[in-house]
Amino acid sequence: MPFTSAYPVSEAATMIRTTGSYVNTTVVGEAIQAFVPHGLPPADPALDPNCYLEANRRAEVALARLSGMTGLVASSEWLIYSAVRREALLTSQLEGTQATLTDVFDGEAGLAVANADDVEEVTNYLRAFRFARDELRSDRGLPLSIRLLTDAHRLLMTGVRGAARNPGGVRCSQNWIGGSRPATARFIPPPPHLVPQALHALENYLPQDASEIPPLVRIALVHAQFETIHPFLDGNGRIGRLLIAVLLEAWKLLPEPLLYVSGYLKSHQLEYYERLNAIRVRGDWEGWVTFFLEAVEAAAEDAQHSIVRVAALIAEDRKRVLSCATTTLTAFRLFELLPTMPRLSVDHARAVLGVSFPTAAKAIETLQQVNVLVETSGRARNQNYSYSQYIALLRDDGGGIQVRT
């Protein structure tokens, strides 16, 4: 069937490049053709540098600007906290999770959450990402490897939807993307017996530091290749996007995980999937790479704007807190913690601050007086509080989409 696309095809793809081969196999009694990708980098022809040089330059400049903005706030941990949670939420929403940003904050504060199962999926992504990041930053940790990704996958899938689908294990059965059965699928990844070989080739590509291909372009290639292999029965999209975040830091493109590229991918979801499919069907690596670089540039610029707005909000609120006659050291300490705990109860504040219940309640009352905290439960007892303006900024700066609160 001839390939048609709603999006422009790159000039380099006017001559079709073969990016893999088809293998005949049978699944649930249906004869199908599964796609087995060639190894990286693209060949016959090689990736056209003209497709990415300018886009790569713009994306690298945007990342450099983002890297230099951490000094606008008192603690880079504030920025890491919000960026990682937005990425966790957005990458999960791409897979249909209905959790909201406020749900995630409530779960971390020990407050009641309506979408508890969905919040657990987002929380699992945070665990998986933290694990991968810690391993790569440790002298004794795992290197960039398939083992690192399978261990992260185990954390991602344990105790949530898909928990019965072999968490941490490379699949031993055929999967497919789209359609209710293989014969109607949009894409059929490699047969299970060829997955280890494809993963091994991908792993061998990861440490090629001397490659002439820029690191951002290589990240685009690696993500697409991982998604094409689709090595797990579930969770491939989230692990593939986790790989983007991990590589950005590991390959020194960002000093901290400040980018939430899944926001752009979610707001351009149809093009995201179609660009990946065009690699397999038409060999259009150039179209995918260009799209990915545009996503990085746009996400980096969104993150920059968000940092400026968050820094301005916190600075203004800090002035109000310090100028309030009833502000105590405890109240100021609590304010400084709000960017990493924007939803809380008195009990939660008491535990974090290590003070008595009345002292924590008084600190919260002070922050209410200066319109920093807002009571949100409407109850007379067991009340909940929110740093509402801060959460609203994070919601509205979600990478080109509305991150529902």
> Over the stretch 336-387, which tens digit does the pLDDT of each residue have?
999 999 999 999 999 999 999 999 999 999 999 999 999 998 888 889 999 9
Task: For residues 219 and 227, give the distance between their C-alpha atoms in angstroms, rounded to a whole number.
Answer: 12
38 DSSP 8-state letter: P
Look up residue 339 and give its DSSP letter. Answer: G
The band of 6, judged by pLDDT with boundaries at 50, 70 and 90, is low
DSSP states of 98-146: ---HHHHHHHHHT---TTHHHHHHHHHHHHHHHHHHHHHHSTTS--SSH
Residues 355/330, Cβ–Cβ less than 8 Å: yes
Kindly tell me if the per-residue pLDDT of 107 is higher than 90.
yes
Question: 32 - beta bridge partners?
Answer: 25
31: part of which helix (H) or strand (E)? strand 30-37
Average pLDDT across the chain, whole number:
91
Distance of CA 261 to the CA centre of its chain: 6
pLDDT tens digit sequence for 108-148: 999 998 889 999 999 999 999 999 999 999 999 999 999 99
388, two tokens: 């509402």
- pLDDT the model gives residue 382: 87
Confidence class for position 40, pLDDT limits 50, 70, 90:
very high
Task: State how far the Cα of 387 lies from the Cα of 289, in Å rounded to an integer.
Answer: 39
Which residues are CB-neighbours of 138 under 8 A, at least 6 positions away?
Answer: none
Query: What pLDDT digit, counting tens, does each position of 121-131 carry?
Result: 999 999 999 99
pLDDT(296) > 90 = yes
- The alpha helices in 254-398, defined as continuous H runs, are 262-267, 269-282, 285-323, 329-337, 346-353, 357-369, 388-396
* CA–CA gap between residue 113 and residue 99 (Å, rounded): 9
User: Taking residues 67-90, what's their average pLDDT?
Assistant: 89
Q: Which stretches does DSSP call E strand in 134-178?
A: none
Distances (CA, A) of 75 to 300, 307, 342: 19, 12, 15
Query: What percentage of residues in the chain have a pLDDT greater than 90?
Result: 80
DSSP 8-class letter at 77: H
What is the CA angle 216-252-310, rounded to 5?
Answer: 90
- Is 0.85 topped by the overall pTM? yes
Mean pLDDT of 257-272: 96
Domains and CATH numbers, the chain: 11-305 (1.10.3290.10), 325-393 (1.10.10.10)
Spatial strand order in the sheet of 374-375: 343-345, 384-386, 374-375
pLDDT band at 397 (very low <50, low <70, confident <90, very high): low
Q: What is the DSSP string of 81-107?
A: HHHHHHHHHHHHHTTT----HHHHHHH
